Amino acid sequence: MGRYLAHDAIVHFILFQSVLLLVLFSNLLLLRKARRGKHPRILPRVSILVPARNEEKNIARLVNSLLAQDYPDFEVLVLDDESTDGTYAVLASLAQSNPKIRVLRGAPATGGLTGKNWACAQLASQATGEVFLFTDADTVYQPNAVRELAACLTRERADFLTGFPGQELGSCGEKLLVPFFSWAVLNFIWLWLAYRLRWKALAVGIGQVMVFRREAYEKIGGHAGLGEEIVDDRALAQKVIAAGLRWRAVHLSDLVRCRMYFSAKDAMEGFSKNYFAAFDFAVVPYVFVYLYLFLLSWLPWLVILIKALGAAPAANWLHLGLCVGLSLLLWLLPFAEVRVPLRLALLYPILNAASTLVALRSLVLSLSGRLAWKGRSLRVPRWKWF
């Protein structure tokens, strides 16, 4: 094995991981800082807005947790987005016993809006609150969650708030694929810098929990201005940054839990929809990033194996141990943040390989125009090299 791969690349990885570790520590501190301080005496009326398409399994758990909030002034609006299962029947039954919930039937899409964007635009048009809390049907809230979110929004003087819910994992496929997203955002987007620069590339929007001041949401055009945008949460976060509005990400895993998918197939479909779209369909940066991350996870172990067999004389055991140790730390800390079983971090090369395969699938499906989600075909914009 050549000196570059056995030695120089490992040293490069160590330097790169050291920078990532500083970013990660900074992010974890900032996420918690936003939760500190006294609660304001006066809190705004909150509209909790839930788009639901074929969520018969999840919706009752979410709605019951929302209705149990200890918040003084809120409403819950849930829109059945043309579900083909029993979602509406479950919602109608829940609404009969509690006046705080309003159930809407989604209308056919108009004006170029499709899917979740159209569903959320309909919800926003019916909301009466000063604050909009958009959440997904696969989440569940602690009784103090809305109070904490509204207090944080007020205390931080923020126009937009988001964060990382705790992740619930069931099947092996979920364990392989779901943790990668939180790991990537927490390691690679430096919040301290993102708060100060209007760089859309640093936008963070987690669709499971997105809190807007009503006037800010309307100023950026809301979901009604997204058209057929596939990654709606990131697109809205980018609009917040472009408008010069104030935003914050907060620690949420003690307040909100989420089971994003219920099988490996669902997880693969969901991330295939988002991965390439999150790079604005730019091929070269996309391929470079996933190839680099794959090498970061696997090359040190390959060098360890070759050196153990008596080859790779340029390799240094101390460097290899440090490189692997930093990798473990960079996976362990994000997993602790979103309350994923820490033992999964020990499998980080396998988790990385699984996400790399999904990234490849996302690229192929996007370029061939075959992306779909929940039975709906998605229109993919024209790809570009950069």
pLDDT in tens, 42-59: 999 999 999 999 999 999
Is residue 178 in a domain?
no
246 and 303 housed in the same domain: no
Residue 301 in contact with residue 349, Cβ under 8 Å? Answer: yes
Q: Phi-psi category of 310—alpha, beta or left, where left has phi over 0 and alpha has psi -120 to 50?
A: left
Is residue 180 in a domain?
no
pLDDT in tens, 79-89: 999 999 999 99
Query: Structurally, how many domains does the chain consist of?
Result: 2
209 and 322 housed in the same domain: no
3-state SS, the chain, equals: CCHHHHHHHHHHHHHHHHHHHHHHHHHHHHHHHCCCCCCCCCCCCEEEEEEECCCCCCHHHHHHHHHCCCCCCEEEEEEECCCCCCHHHHHHHHHHCCCCEEEEECCCCCCCCCHHHHHHHHHHHHCCCCEEEEECCCEEECCCHHHHHHHHHHHCCCCEEEEECEECCCCHHHHHHCHHHHHHHHHHCCHHHHCCCCCHHHCCCCCCEEEEEHHHHHHCCCHHHCCCCCCHHHHHHHHHHHCCCCEEEEECCCCEEECCCCCHHHHHHHHHHHCCHHHCCEHHHHHHHHHHHHHHHHHHHHHHHHHHCCCCCCCCHHHHHHHHHHHHHHHHHHHHHCCCCHHHHHHHHHHHHHHHHHHHHHHHHHHCCCCEECCEECCCCCCECC
CA–CA distance, 218 with 234 (Å, rounded to integer): 17
pLDDT category at 3 given cuts 50, 70, 90 is confident
pLDDT category at 235 given cuts 50, 70, 90 is very high
Is residue 45 in a domain?
yes
CA–CA distance, 162 with 233 (Å, rounded to integer): 10
Q: What is the pLDDT of residue 262?
A: 87
Q: What is the pLDDT of residue 375?
A: 77
Write the CB contacts of 379 (distance below 8 Å, at least 6 apart in sequence): 114, 228
Phi, then psi, of 39 in degrees rounded to 5: -80, 135
- Of 50, 98, 55, the closest CA to residue 78 belongs to 50
- β-sheet bridge partners, residue 104: 79
pLDDT in tens, 28-45: 999 999 999 888 989 999
Domain membership of residue 132 as a residue range: 32-169+189-261
116 and 241 housed in the same domain: yes
Q: Mean pLDDT in the chain? A: 94
- β-sheet bridge partners, residue 160: 212, 247
Is residue 203 in a domain?
yes
120 and 250 housed in the same domain: yes
**Angle, helix 264-274 to helix 348-367, in steps of 10 degrees:** 60
18 and 42 housed in the same domain: no
Residue 290 in contact with residue 353, Cβ under 8 Å? Answer: no
CA–CA distance, 117 with 272 (Å, rounded to integer): 18
Most confident option among 111-115, 364-368, 370-374: 364-368
CA–CA distance, 191 with 181 (Å, rounded to integer): 16
pLDDT category at 115 given cuts 50, 70, 90 is confident
Q: What is the pLDDT of residue 380?
A: 81
Q: Side chain identity at 293, as an amino acid letter?
A: L
Is residue 52 in a domain?
yes
68 and 128 housed in the same domain: yes
pLDDT in tens, 12-23: 999 999 999 999
100 and 128 housed in the same domain: yes
253 and 373 housed in the same domain: no
Average pLDDT, integer, range 326-336: 98
pLDDT category at 5 given cuts 50, 70, 90 is confident
231 and 305 housed in the same domain: no
Is residue 94 in a domain?
yes
Is residue 335 in a domain?
yes
165 and 138 housed in the same domain: yes
Is residue 81 in a domain?
yes
Q: What is the pLDDT of residue 150?
A: 97
pLDDT in tens, 120-140: 999 999 999 999 999 999 999
pLDDT category at 382 given cuts 50, 70, 90 is confident
CATH number for position 212: 3.90.550.10
Domain boundary among 236, 261, 286: 261
Asked if pLDDT for residue 227 goes beyond 90, the answer is no
Domain boundary among 261, 288, 319: 261
Q: Side chain identity at 27, as an amino acid letter?
A: N
- The rounded percent of the chain whose pLDDT value lies above 90 is 85
Phi, then psi, of 109 in degrees rounded to 5: -65, 140
67 and 20 housed in the same domain: no
Write the CB contacts of 375 (distance below 8 Å, at least 6 apart in sequence): 54, 84
Q: What is the pLDDT of residue 1?
A: 62
CA–CA distance, 43 with 70 (Å, rounded to integer): 12
Asked if pLDDT for residue 347 goes beyond 90, the answer is yes
297 and 321 housed in the same domain: yes
Domain boundary among 261, 296, 318: 261
